[in-house]
Amino acid sequence: MKEINKVRFMVQSAAIAAIYVVLTLLTNVFGLANGVIQVRFSEAMTVLPCIMPAAIPGLTIGCLISNTLTGAMALDIIFGSFATLIGAVFTYMLRKYRFLAPLPPIVSNTVIIPFVLAYVYKFEGSVWYFMITVGIGEIISCGVLGGLLLLTLRRLPKMF
């Protein structure tokens, strides 16, 4: 039985990573995946750790692959994936309070990514400005779209 659970965990993680990559690449077509304002459709999935622990590695690996494929710089790949990992872990820790699920990824990305934009990409603007722009994008992606995803998943029969 343990082997089946391990396989299920790995398959769920891989599926989440793959969907995250596809959604990020789709967002990139519209020019929203990278930059000062980022509204990634894939970030809606950051609420999933409150439903399934397999989402933690899935989201982290998905972010790592997505950032690599969209041409992000090495430090962005590292710190962006780390921000996703932190958000996913804290979302899992808040699993009893699903309405708070979007909060950890919003906070982790709003705090970490502005420094990447300012010091890695050297975009014009202050870290505080980037915190506002990244925060707005994360509220849209994680808060609004992620909240809608959670509401939709709640209505489905228990699968996880």
Residue 44's domain comprises 2-155
Q: What is the pLDDT along the chain (160 residues), one digit of tens a residue?
A: 688 899 999 999 999 999 999 999 999 888 876 766 778 899 999 999 999 999 999 999 999 999 999 999 999 999 999 999 999 999 999 999 999 999 999 999 999 999 999 999 999 999 999 999 999 999 999 999 999 999 998 887 765 5
CATH code (residue 76): 1.10.1760.20
Total of domains in the chain: 1
Specify if 160 maps to a domain: no
Main-chain phi, psi angles of 18, to 5 degrees: -65, -45
On whether residue 69 sits in a domain, the answer given is yes
| Rounded Cα–Cα distance for residues 153 and 156 (Å) | 5
The structure tokens 């391990």 sit at 6
User: Distance between CA 111 and CA 131 in Å, rounded?
Assistant: 7
Report yes or no on 36 lying in a domain.
yes
How far is residue 106's CA from residue 97's CA, in Å, rounded to a whole number?
A: 16
Report the C-alpha gap between 21 and 120 in whole angstroms: 22
